[in-house]
Structure 1
Amino acid sequence: MEEEAPDLLCQLENVQGLVDALSAVRWKRHQDAVVELSEHGIVLIVEESGCLQAKVYLKRELFVRYEYNAQGRPRFGVSLGLFIDCLNTYSVPGQSSSIQIQYPGPDMQVLLKSLDSQDASICAQLRTRIPETFAWDYNFEPAGTNPLTFTVKSAALREAIEDLEWPGSSIQIILQPDPPSVILRGEGHGDLQIDLLYHAHTDLLAAFQCDHRVSFKYKYKFLRATTSNIPGSVIKENRGSKVTIGRGGMLKVQHLIPISKMSVSHPYVDSVGYQQPGRIAYIEFFVKPELSEDSTNDY
């Protein structure tokens, strides 16, 4: 009897890039994640308290091999920490380690296998479970016809949020068109405010779009989770993160994380060293605002 093909069999040439992408959405020690498979790629989703959600998009172009045989879109739950720890065992500093990922195994596991040696291979099995239904809808709706958005250097965004830390506090984010600026304000035993002026800080604030003033507060621990584990490679390359405020104050923070090593000789890197979109993992965070009677919003 012919053995049935697995739902997914794929190969990735740089394990460390995948570790970086998944670590970016790990904000506490014990976290469960849901993995959804499709012919277009893999999406990993984590959530907390119905107020914070993160998604990692791994498009099929990231993989050197991607064989998809499933009907529909299989979903399974895993421990995010165990998944990252398993992948880390295949990562060798200074090298692009290749692995094969298969789902499901005989007992519905995720099977991992190293591909770098012809003489021996390291294999691992990651137990999965039936995922729970998510408590809230993470569909992001734009706030009107003109997006309220800005792009800021990832390192600057992380530093600004960390500087505004007050125990148990919130951070207020204000966008205003005149003068074009982003204001981050923390409140505790006193006030601390960071102003990013679009015309004055073009080295930090790469793009800005806002046609009316908006102001929302977000719980500090949730806002910090959106930047606290940005990998060093993103900070070193001085990449930017895009921040958008949607309907009702829903905040979306987007990061781009390189999966393959930067090399001009690589087929996915062009002559000036820029990676094509297929070699990038897309990370999205969604943060619900705090509801307060004194919010000043033009909705």
Structure 2
Amino acid sequence: MSSTSADVAPDLVCQLDSVQGMVDALSSVRWKRHQDAVVELSEHGIVLIVEETGCLQAKVYLKRELFLQYDYAAEGRPRFGLSLGLFVDCLNAFSAPGHAPVIEMRYPGPDMQLLLKSVDSPDACIYAEIRTRIPDTISWDYNFEPAGSVPITFTVRSAVLKEAIDDLEWPGSSIQILLQPDPPSVTFKGEGHGDLQIEFLYYANNDLLIAFQCDQHISYRYKYKFLRATTSNIPSSVLKDNRGSKLTIGRGGMLKIQHLVSILRPGTQHHFGDHGGIQQPSRIAYIEFYAKPEEDDAPVINDA
């Protein structure tokens, strides 16, 4: 390490004490074994971005309030690329049964690494370096815009959403999502060797379909593999807590799916609202997926 490198203040030094929650949040956007990610730093927190062939993009928002310490000294918003799987594996290496370690993350190291070390163990210090790279340019801008004056959105229990998508599996095929305002309902329809559809009626069972807002008939198709990626690694804590996932269809059929993942400190109890929503927003990681519709699909949109 050169003296010049040693004297330069890092862009970010932060500490976290909720390793498992961080692993859960990052794993939720890991839909294949070898996956690269782009990390963006700012004074407000950390954003991790992954994408697939310009058709699916996911972001994990880690606000600065999730960290015990967050010292940000950079100008602008530095970005770097890394292996998502390696990052998750390194965080897991710090975790031990019955012990919730405090981890310090520092970027950049002397060779532009992401540095991690345990800071609360008197007996041993675990240390890791993750090689980073100059990030690729994000290949598409989701540019999510409302489809009309009334947002087209609904919220469904996360466990129910995952089960519905799993049940509609048609490898290599697509899933059609249909919304209609009267009666208020959402239908997921799979087509393969036969047809299979799952319908949620808003007023019939609002324990499943928590919220619904739509003023027009609308229908778009999405690649099954992309829809499955949005739910395949939802953390078990989200399913167990009966949390809700929000789906919104924007202009051109762009689909946004939002999940909430708890990043709780050790020994912290969950406090939920009437609809499974955490009442401590500062301890939540926000997960967003953006999926493009099938290009050759003609949407069905009629005025209400």
Output the amino acid matched with 1:223: L
Alpha-carbon separation, structure 2, partners of 1:233 and 1:190: 34
Output the amino acid matched with 1:295: P
> Does 1:237 pair with 2:241?
yes
**1:282 alignment counterpart:** 286
User: Which of 35, 51, 60 pairs up with 1:31?
Assistant: 35
User: Which of 207, 211, 216 pairs up with 1:207?
Assistant: 211
Alpha-carbon separation, structure 2, partners of 1:99 and 1:153: 33
Output the amino acid matched with 1:114: S
**1:134 alignment counterpart:** 138
1:244-280 Cα shifts (integer Å, max 9, x gaps): 00000000000000011474579xx79xx95511100
Alpha-carbon separation, structure 1, partners of 2:59 and 2:297: 31
Q: How many residues align?
A: 296
Identical residues among aligned pairs (%) = 71
Report SS of the residue matched to 1:37.
strand
Alpha-carbon separation, structure 2, partners of 1:261 and 1:67: 19
User: Which of 68, 83, 87 pairs up with 2:87?
Assistant: 83
User: Which of 167, 176, 181 pairs up with 2:180?
Assistant: 176
Normalization by structure 2: what TM-score? 0.93
1:77-118 Cα shifts (integer Å, max 9, x gaps): 000011111111012234432211000000000000112302
> Does 1:48 pair with 2:52?
yes
User: Which of 121, 125, 131 pairs up with 2:129?
Assistant: 125
User: Which segments of structure 1 move beyond 4 Å, counting only runs of 4 or more?
Assistant: 261-266
Contact 2:220 2:297 in 1 (8 A): no
In the superposition, relative to structure 1, how do residues 292 and 71 fare at CA in structure 2: closer, same or farther (>3 Å)?
same
> Does 1:190 pair with 2:194?
yes
Output the amino acid matched with 2:212: F
Q: Which runs of no fewer than 5 residues in structure 2 stay unpaired?
A: none
User: Which of 258, 266, 269 pairs up with 1:254?
Assistant: 258
User: Which of 164, 171, 195 pairs up with 2:168?
Assistant: 164
Output the amino acid matched with 1:12: L
1:27-66 Cα shifts (integer Å, max 9, x gaps): 0011110000000000000000100000000000000100
User: Which of 4, 7, 10 pairs up with 2:8?
Assistant: 4
In the superposition, relative to structure 1, how do residues 119 and 275 fare at CA in structure 2: closer, same or farther (>3 Å)?
farther
Q: Which runs of no fewer than 5 residues in structure 1 stay unpaired?
A: none
Deviates more, 1:218-227 or 1:107-116: 107-116
Contact 1:7 1:68 in 2 (8 A): yes
In the superposition, relative to structure 1, how do residues 65 and 175 fare at CA in structure 2: closer, same or farther (>3 Å)?
same
> Does 1:17 pair with 2:21?
yes
RMSD: 2.0
